[in-house]
Amino acid sequence: MAGNRTLAIIKPDAFGAGKAGKIIAHLEAQGFKIICARVLHMTTAEAGAFYAVHKGRPFYDELVTFMSSGPCMPLVLEKADAVAAYRAAIGATDPAEAAEGTVRKLYAESKGRNAVHGSDSDDNARHEGMFFFGAAALI
């Protein structure tokens, strides 16, 4: 059975532009419940560790620089089938390809500066939740 939690991040582009409240309201209106939340400005080492799975990809350095460029807002969100439901709510990685009404269509600037992160599996949701919140993400 699919899990009911996922890890979201309101990325530095959207957080810095004051869009966090609108994005959270959009997600809450779709039934996502906030379990954990914080604001932090990641170091390049922290952003590099979080995105280690992408190390070696052409966009990795740009991604790490972007994610450590300002404060961001990690969230653990709860909803039935959370990983799939949240990825449907945020839309495709590139906002130009994201469906109407999705968070990235509404709030993202580009494929790199794309407003939000979302876990891609239950295992990664647990791992990423632990990264930012420790065991509190699991309770």
Q: Which residues are catalytic?
A: 117
Place of tokens 């809450």: 28
Residue 120 beta carbon to Mg ion: minimum distance, rounded to whole angstroms: 5
Q: Strands of 73-78's sheet, edge to edge? A: 33-37, 73-78, 5-10, 116-118
Where on the chain is the footprint of Mg ion (CB under 5 A)? 120
Residue 59 beta carbon to Mg ion: minimum distance, rounded to whole angstroms: 11
Per-residue contact flags (x/-) with ligand ADP for residues 56 to 85, judged by CB under 6 A: ---x--xx----------------------
Residue sitting closest to Mg ion (CB): 120
Residue 54 beta carbon to Mg ion: minimum distance, rounded to whole angstroms: 8
Given Mg ion, ligand ADP, none, residue 62, with its beta carbon under 5 to 8 Å by kind, binds: ligand ADP
Residue with smaller CB distance to ligand ADP, 7 or 35:
7
CA 94 – CA 80 distance, rounded (Å): 25
- Closest C-alpha to 126, from 82, 92, 61: 82
Q: Phi and psi dihedrals of 100, rounded to 5?
A: -55, 140
Enumerate residues 83-112 that contact ligand ADP by CB under 6 A. 93, 111-112
C-alpha of 131 from chain center: 13
- Asked if residue 8 lies in contact with residue 77, where contact means CB atoms within 8 angstroms, the answer is yes
Enumerate residues 118-137 that contact ligand ADP by CB under 6 A. 120
CA distances (Å), origin 133, targets 18, 83, 113, 115:
23, 18, 24, 21
Catalog residues that contact ligand ADP under the rule CB under 6 A.
54, 59, 62-63, 93, 111-112, 114, 117, 120
